[in-house]
Every structure is written in structure tokens, then in C-alpha cells.
Amino acid sequence: IRQMKYAVSPVMRAAVRPKNAADMSRLVEGLHKLILTDGVAKYIHDKETSETVLCATGELHMEILLRDLAEYA
């Protein structure tokens, strides 16, 4: 099976954070799983604001990513 290449760029961003600061490692682990299962999604760590930002291709995609992230983390 070959990896598919997408011509879609993330256009929507949302800052994500754990409910408890102690759960940050679980959040990062969940984000890694999310990126492995969704080839278009990505996340960045904004150094200026110290936020972890999840990037999606649209509103529905973001909703799905946030739902999946809640399951993974």
C-alpha cells in the first residue's frame, strides 16, 4: 500500500490543552496517535503563547479530530 499525498492544507486551528497540567504527556501521546491515523491533520507548539495548536482542513474535520483526540488521550 502506497501512502496517499494530499493537496489539502490545514486552514482551521484550535488551541488544545489537558484539563490537568499533569496530563500533558497523555495529550501529546494522543496527538501523535491522531497524526498517525489522519494524514492531513497536524499540530504545532506555539512558542510565543506556549499553546499546543491542532490544525485541520475545516470545521467538520476539526470536530472529528477533537472527538478522536478525546478518545486517544
- Print pLDDT tens along the chain (73 aa): 777 676 788 899 999 999 898 999 999 999 999 999 998 899 999 999 999 999 999 999 999 999 999 998 7
Q: Give the residue among 72, 43, 44, 40 at the shortest CA–CA distance from 58.
A: 40
